[in-house]
Chains A and B, each alone.
Chain A
């Protein structure tokens, strides 16, 4: 399909943010009718590259060439006009507007200077249809849609702009696997129509399934471009992290003695309609995973345990004593010693503008204060210890937490809870959007904490993580635990099977039902 002149080319793109070099003479060539995957760790410059392409930021140096002609995008509207459309990972939808208003957000059809709502609605319906979301009502407000539907609206919005280059930045991260399949169908059709697709994802199997060409970024530069399928996963990861790739997961210890009393027990915990009677128990030293499709109540379970949800029923037992937790403050208290690493570090885990130090010590304040007065010496020592323990990289502890890379931010979230020496640690997808190197460190840390006697519940959307980290995995469906996988039973196949096909899973014993 590629003509003599590539559809879009970026040459020598450099972008600095303050002292940080986000892109360093990066190059990229995009051909029509192909799916081009971009790989790289966080901080490798992928997002900046996309922002440059789509007019969100302007490069300090370098040229953008559209069919050989130099172009210049002062804002996203200009890039859109040139046919370059991006589906951002942070949704660009406006919650208070309707689906149709969002899809036709710019340059709506007009009549007498006003928006022609009928025509707009027709266009929106067409776009939804193409994006595989025909069941979404164009008059619904976006804020009333669940996350996965919003993502479909986002894709429809991009399609409505008649893109020639379509950029998908982690566009599938919020989708269920059946939605992903639908979206892939759409993308294949677009490719056949000659649209150039730029695909960014951390999910290797998606890239393997879809991509024609791959480019790996590292430290703001493109380090390799190759035809899809010509490199093994190991080789790709080595290219991404620039060093040899060892087994990321620490070795699992033998299962703890069955006589060991559970530290945390949950009996019939319910919070209608999202939790319908969850029962589980975790012994000290165990890492228990929560599996299943996204949105089967895993998040709510963690929030309920941590005292965030109102009106839960059922019993929570810590150390053999029933407890009633009504706020994170009670959950973190000494005799319970619970910690929650929340889902979204930017809004729930950290105060980004505050210093690394203030963030680190925030949850552990009572430990180094008396009568509400802070002992700053003790605070400093505790903070320094944590920075060292987790190897948090920053220019000192006085810089804002927001200035750190995603991986280091996540380390702060974990460290601020470790400071309290929690006995029960709940983690909500702690490695989402984090680079391989940091992931590895987090895995090691989790295992070490478990070895020291903590009871850990880990929810992850990444199956590899559940397989590699957990001693047991509880597969959830519709707000309840439907199956428990243990030891060697934890395979990708078993996870997928029990997550999707409940009947199969209920059959139980058979090793990993085939063909799920």
Chain B
């Protein structure tokens, strides 16, 4: 029993995000015009879920990327730009027959990992604050994206079969993108979470000096966190390419994804002060955030109101997180 209590205390943020997501998505799906027209048929629901999953997975991947860095008490303002860069690179290299296209995907992921690694190296050895480092590197990564794709375009021999596979449904039932997300959680998040370096990522975020005193591999942990952030952001970029078949160096898109990734991470119960939270929470945070954004669409409101709606929901969500403050009885605790 007490074992469960500790587990629950640890996962509370993620569970809250899950509940929020289920609630929002429930409302969304119940009011979706496609479903209201045809009723709750497997096909109709499947299509709606597929569309939602494809959009949601993009943000989920970028939010996962952000999670790694935020856990170390850092912040990566370049995730959106790495995402865009990967999108542009993928639109250039994911071409030709299947083996070549897959090689291209690997190349894109490598580019992302290198971007993340550069962030990590500058933060670790340059001893600079992550926020300013990633602001600057983000500009560089965006510049490269712009160089590759001065205007939105796609390669003539872009491998759309591969793209269709990843944006389609497995066995005509489950969206492949969701399965991929699950695979990523299983092969990236879980092993990292349970490894010594993963634990050090949490430790660094919680108290770097204590982690150092304890002889934990701080530098390796930080490096891995930034590199994985780059890698996952790039994976998100690859998926974006799969959906759009093209690459677009849009700085507005990049900033939006960076900002939304932070929002998703917070909704997912990851502490911006580091050391607490999980990528799984962040994924649900991202999906919930997406569902909220789409609610407006199903209620047939003027799209003009969408940004305001999304903003207000975000504001309310973060304010709810502040409710615990009213229980603080020793004001010194407010200053943490």
Q: Which residues of A contact B (CB under 8 A)?
A: 56, 75-77, 80, 88, 90-98, 101-102, 105-108, 110, 113-115, 117, 137, 139-141, 157, 271, 300, 303, 308-311, 327, 348
Asked if A96 contacts B330 (CB within 8 A), the reply is: no
Interface membership of B276, Cβ < 8 A? yes
- Known A92-B210, A115-B194, A310-B330; contact A106-B215, beta-carbon cutoff 8 A: yes
Please pick, from A96, A105, A110, A300, the residue contacting B216 in the complex, using a CB distance under 8 A.
Answer: A105
Which B321-336 residues have a C-beta within 8 angstroms of A? 328-332
Closest residue of chain A to B214, judged by CB? A105
Neighbour of A114 across the interface among B194, B214, B328, CB < 8 A = B194
Could you give 19 example pairs across A and B, Cβ below 8 Å? A75-B215, A80-B215, A90-B209, A94-B202, A94-B203, A94-B206, A95-B275, A96-B205, A96-B206, A97-B199, A105-B203, A105-B215, A106-B215, A108-B199, A113-B191, A113-B195, A137-B2, A139-B6, A348-B332
Q: CB within 8 Å of A: which of B296-336?
A: 328-332
Q: Which 5 A-B pairs have the closest CB atoms?
A: A77-B215, A92-B213, A96-B275, A96-B206, A105-B214
Nearest chain A CB to B186's CB is how many angstroms away? 13
Given contacts A105-B203, A105-B215, A308-B331, contact A115 B196 (CB under 8 A): yes
Is A95 touching B214 in the complex (CB atoms < 8 A)? no
Q: Which of B169-227 contact A (CB under 8 A)?
A: 191, 194-196, 199, 202-203, 205-207, 209-216
- Residues of chain A within 8 A of B209, CB atoms compared: 90, 92
Instruction: Chain A residues near B216: list those with CB within 8 A.
Output: 105-106
- Inter-chain contact A76/B6, CB cutoff 8 Å: no
**Chain B neighbourhood of A76, CB < 8 A:** 212-215
A97 CA / B206 CA spacing, docked (Å): 8
State whether A310 touches B328 (Cβ < 8 A).
yes
In this complex, what residue of B is CB-closest to A56?
B213
Q: Which residue of B lies closest to A86 (CB)?
A: B213
Main SS of the interface on chain B?
Answer: helix
Contact A98–B6 (Cβ < 8 Å): yes
- In the complex, which of the residues A75, A110, A117, A271 contacts B329, with contact meaning CB atoms closer than 8 Å? A271
B10 — nearest CB in chain A belongs to which residue? A141
Helix, strand, loop or mixed for chain A's interface? Answer: loop
Q: Are A309 and B331 in contact (CB under 8 A)?
A: yes
Contacts of B329 in A (CB 8 A): 271, 309-311
Please count how many residues in chain B sit with their CB below 8 Å of the partner chain's CB atoms: 31
- In the bound assembly, the distance between CA atoms of A76 and B210 in angstroms comes to 11
Please name all residues of chain A whose beta carbon is closer than 8 Å to the beta carbon of B212 when the two chains form the complex. 75-76
Measured CB to CB, the nearest residue on chain A to B271 is A96
Looking at the assembled complex, report how far the CB atom of B26 sits from the nearest CB atom of chain A, in whole angstroms: 33
User: A residues within 8 A CB of B205?
Assistant: 96
| Beta-carbon contact of A106 and B202 below 8 Å | no
Contact check, A101 vs B213: say whether CB atoms are below 8 A apart.
no
Report the minimum CB–CB distance from B141 to chain A (whole Å): 31
Partner pick for A110 among B196, B211, B213, B276, CB 8 A cutoff: B196
The residues of B that contact A110 with a CB separation of less than 8 Å are 196
B9 is an interface residue with CB less than 8 A from chain A: yes
Known: A115-B199, A137-B6. A94 touches B328 (CB 8 A): no
Instruction: Using CB atoms, name the residue of chain A closest to B9.
Output: A141
Minimum C-beta distance from A191 to chain B (A): 24
Closest to A95 in B: B206
Which of A94, A310, A311 interacts with B211 by CB under 8 Å? Answer: A94
- The answer to whether A94 and B195 touch across the interface, beta carbons within 8 angstroms, is no
- Out of A80, A140, A271, A309, name the residue touching B6 (CB < 8 Å): A140
A308 close to B213 (CB less than 8 A): no
Contacts of B276 in A (CB 8 A): 96
Determine which of B3, B9, B207, B214 lies in contact with A106 in the assembled complex, contact meaning CB atoms within 8 Å. B214
> Min CB distance, B313 to chain A, in Å?
29
The one of A102, A106, A107, A310 that contacts B331, using a Cβ cutoff of 8 Å? A310
A250 to B175, CA, bound (A): 81
**B23-46 at interface with A (beta carbon < 8 Å):** none
B207 x A94 contact (CB < 8 A) = yes
Within 8 A of A (CB), among B1-22: 2-3, 6-7, 9-10
Q: Which residues of B contact A139 (CB under 8 A)?
A: 2-3, 6-7
Closest to B328 in A: A310
- On chain B, the residues within 8 Å of A108 by CB distance are 196, 199
B-chain residues with CB within 8 Å of residue A96 when the two chains form the complex:
202-203, 205-207, 275-276
Question: How far does the Cβ of B5 sit from chain A's closest Cβ, in whole Å?
Answer: 9
CB distance from A202 to the nearest CB of B (A): 21
A271 to B330, CA, bound (A): 10
Which residues of chain B are near A141, meaning CB under 8 Å? 6, 9-10
CB distance from B279 to the nearest CB of A (A): 16
Task: Report A84 CB to chain B, min CB distance, Å.
Answer: 11
Contact between B332 and A94, CB atoms less than 8 A apart = no
A141 to B199, CA, bound (A): 13
With a cutoff of 8 Å between Cβ atoms, the chain A residues found around residue B195 in the complex are 113-115
**Assembly CA distance A111 to B318 (angstroms):** 40
A94 touches B214 (CB 8 A): yes
Question: Most chain-A Cβ atoms within 10 A of its Cβ — which of B7, B202, B329?
Answer: B329
Asked if residues A101 and B199 are in contact (CB atoms below 8 Å), the reply is yes
Q: B3 to nearest A CB, angstroms?
A: 6
- Chain B residue at minimum C-beta to C-beta distance from A98: B6
Min CB–CB distance B278 → chain A (angstroms): 12
Chain A residues near B194 (CB-CB < 8 A): 114-115, 117
| Chain A, Cβ-Cβ closest to B3 | A139
Contacting residues, chain A, for B210 (C-beta < 8 A): 91-94
Q: How far is the CA of A139 from the CA of B195 in the complex (A)?
A: 17
C-alpha spacing A309/B331, complex, angstroms: 6
Task: Tell me, in angstroms, the Cα distance from A324 to B7 when the chains sit together.
Answer: 43
Measured in the bound complex, the distance between the Cα atoms of B210 and A96 in whole Å is 11
What is the 8 Å Cβ interface bit string for chain B, positions 128-152, against chain A (1 contact, 0 not)?
Answer: 0000000000000000000000000
For residue A117, which residues in chain B have a CB less than 8 angstroms away from its CB?
194
**Chain B residues whose C-beta falls within 8 Å of the C-beta of A115 in the assembled complex:** 194-196, 199
Q: Which residues of B contact A113 (CB under 8 A)?
A: 191, 195
Minimum CB–CB distance for A459 against chain B, Å:
16
Q: Per-position contact with A for B28-71: 1 when CB-CB < 8 Å, else 0?
A: 00000000000000000000000000000000000000000000
* Interfacial chain B residues near A271, Cβ < 8 Å: 329
Closest to B199 in A: A101
The interface residues of chain B lying within 8 Å CB-to-CB of A309 are 329-331
Q: Which residues of A contact B206 (CB under 8 A)?
A: 94-97
Closest chain A residue to B6, Cβ basis: A139
